Amino acid sequence: MNIELVEWQKLSDKNGLCYPWWTHPFLEVMEGWDLSEKYMLELGAGLGTAWLRDKCKWVDSVDASPEWAERAEQYCQYHDKLNGQISCELIADGVEGGWEQYKKLIPKNVKYDVISIDGIYRVECIEWALEHFKGRGGIMILDNLDQDFVWISPKAMELIEGLEGEVFIQPNHTNHEGKPWNTRYYNIKK
């Protein structure tokens, strides 16, 4: 299956799959994580879904773009990465009742170990993830938080205040006014 990579996307040297569209320094760190027995929820699917499925035991993905969901699913099928499912419904960010509609796409009764937030309703997704991890802990991955032109959110910053984590800035990224592209993760304690 031929894919066209866009700016900053890259393929893994280890398995040839397209990485998630996260900063390269974070991908280097995540490459070393053993997630082989972990269940992951990806809020915002893409070509990197196949790479995540290769790394994790199971990956559920939720997306509000049928086009993105279809591309991700085709890429997963082509590479025989079938350990997951993608739920999708066309939902516009910020519409009345949209968060409730989006939340219904999240599989019920699954205890996720890792939750990635890189789609719509990001602040609400952080709140949901923090609630999901209560009493058990987990890893929360956030892309683009506090990045110019993408996701500036005082409320999101307030929600993560005091959490143990690390921020990975993309070197040479110039499309910003002082707040560059970053991917970060947080270890949520029990």
Please indicate, yes or no, if residue 12 is contained in any of the structural domains.
Answer: no
Hey, what are 181's tokens? Answer: 């592209």
Residue that wins the pLDDT comparison between 22 and 2 = 22
Is 117 inside a domain boundary?
Answer: yes
Confidence band, pLDDT 50/70/90 cuts, at residue 85: very high
| pLDDT at residue 1 tops 80 | no
Residue 109 is assigned to a structural domain of this protein? yes
SS (H, E, C) 131-176: HHHCCCCEEEEEECECECCCECCHHHHHHHCCCEEEEEECCCCCCC
CATH code assigned at 109: 3.40.50.150
- Domain assignment present for residue 94? The answer is yes
Give the separation between CA 52 and CA 58, rounded to whole angstroms: 9
Do the domain assignments include residue 9? no
What's the confidence (pLDDT) of residue 2?
A: 74
Domain, as residue range, for 89: 24-188
Cα–Cα distance measured from residue 57 to residue 59, given in angstroms and rounded to the nearest whole number: 7
Q: For the chain, what is the domain count? A: 1
With respect to residue 3, please indicate whether it lies within any of the assigned structural domains.
no
Torsion, Cα of 143, 145, 151, 155 (10° steps) = 130
CA–CA distances in Å: residue 134 to residues 49, 71, 125, 159: 26, 33, 14, 14
pLDDT attached to residue 3: 82
Instruction: Name residue 6's beta-bridge partners.
Output: none
Determine contact, residues 88/111, Cβ cutoff 8 Å: no
Q: Does 32 fall in a domain?
A: yes
What is the pTM for the complete model shown? 0.95
Does residue 141 lie within any of the structural domains? yes
